[in-house]
Each structure stands twice: as structure tokens, then as C-alpha cells.
């Protein structure tokens, strides 16, 4: 596998754990792709001014032979297949798959931004990512994920959910190479 990818997944609508599991299994089914690690599940306070239910968030480590463009296209297709509907910015989501890091690639186009533009400002991204990839380096800030997590000023609540983590891992253990629970 040529490329290492880190993803952030979130859901706050409907069968949240099932949506997260479907996303992980779907990613594992991409041609030339392996899901290596999945973080614990965290219950997180929504960001923005849209009243909504708490999110469940996690991070995923993936290796793939796909290009960044191919992977991104498949990822967006998978969101729709799982049932994502369009909503307002920072609104509720059945599933949200964010491409956080793709090797040390930097892309800044209208269609794709890598690394993810807001990841360094989001504790709900940094905490689960630091769990599975503390030493991964952000290609713009040249700091480890652990350093960025320790430096974040985001104070939105991010709490480990043992119940949701157990539920998720019972649904996905056959889809990842290094199950942690």
C-alpha cells in the first residue's frame, strides 16, 4: 500500500453507531485499501450555532493504493450510499467522513483541501486522531498530532463513550487489521 490516510468520522442523526460502522466497512471494501486502526468513539458537543444532538466521532487510519482524488471521490460516494443528506453548514449529519491527512500531501482547491482546514481547531478531531496517530506530522504546521492536540484552544466537550465503542467494535472487528477493543 502506497499511501497512509487519516480520516475523521462523525454522526449525530439516526442510528449513529451503525452509520459509523457502515462507513468503516465501506472504506475497507475500497479497492487496494486496508483499514488499519480505529480510535475509540467519543461523544462530542456540536460546533456552530445549529441546535442539534451530540455527535459520535472517531478517527481511522487507512492505507491505500488509490490516489487522493480517487479516494476522495469514493469517500463522497460512500457518504451518499450510507444515507447522508445535504444540510446546512455545521448541521446534523447521518455520516460525515473527513479526509484529514493523506501522506504529507497539501492540496488547496475548491473541491478538496488536504490537510483538512479546520482539523487543528477541533478537539473532536484531534483527540481521537492523537489516540491512533500521536506522532503523525501535520504537513503545514510541522507539528505532531499530539502537539496540536495539546495546544488546541477548542473547549467543546469530547468524552470517551465505552458503550458506543463496544457497539462499534462488535460491528467492525472483521473489517480492520488492528482492532483495539
Give catalytic residue positions.
Answer: 84, 93, 96, 98
Contact (Cβ atoms closer than 8 angstroms) between residue 149 and residue 123: yes
61-76: b (≥16 Cβ within 10 Å) or e: bbebebebeebbebbe
Look at residues 108, 98, 112, 106 and name the one whose alpha carbon lies nearest to residue 139.
Answer: 106
Q: How many other CB atoms are there within 10 angstroms of residue 50's CB atom?
A: 12
Residues with Cβ within 8 Å of residue 97, at least 6 apart in sequence: 7, 8, 9, 23, 27, 75, 78, 79
Closest CA to 116 of 100, 137, 104, 133: 100
Residue 79: CB atoms within 10 A of its CB come to 20
Amino acid at each position: 500500500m502506497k499511501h497512509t490516510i487519516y480520516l475523521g468520522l462523525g454522526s449525530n442523526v439516526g442510528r449513529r453507531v451503525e452509520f459509523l460502522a457502515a462507513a468503516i466497512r465501506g472504506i475497507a471494501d475500497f479497492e487496494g485499501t486496508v483499514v488499519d486502526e480505529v480510535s475509540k468513539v467519543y461523544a462530542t458537543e456540536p460546533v456552530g450555532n445549529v441546535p442539534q444532538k451530540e455527535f459520535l466521532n472517531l478517527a481511522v487510519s487507512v492505507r491505500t493504493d488509490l490516489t487522493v482524488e480517487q479516494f476522495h471521490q469514493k469517500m463522497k460516494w460512500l457518504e451518499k450510499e450510507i444515507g447522508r443528506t445535504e444540510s446546512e453548514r455545521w448541521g446534523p449529519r447521518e455520516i460525515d467522513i473527513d479526509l484529514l491527512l493523506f501522506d504529507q500531501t497539501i492540496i488547496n482547491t475548491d473541491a478538496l483541501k488536504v490537510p483538512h482546514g479546520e482539523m487543528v481547531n477541533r478537539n473532536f478531531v484531534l483527540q481521537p486522531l492523537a489516540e491512533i496517530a500521536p506522532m503523525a506530522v501535520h504537513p503545514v504546521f510541522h507539528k505532531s498530532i499530539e502537539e496540536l492536540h495539546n495546544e488546541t484552544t477548542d473547549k467543546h466537550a469530547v468524552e470517551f463513550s465505552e458503550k458506543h465503542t463496544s457497539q462499534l467494535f462488535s460491528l467492525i472487528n472483521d473489517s480492520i487489521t488492528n482492532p483495539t477493543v
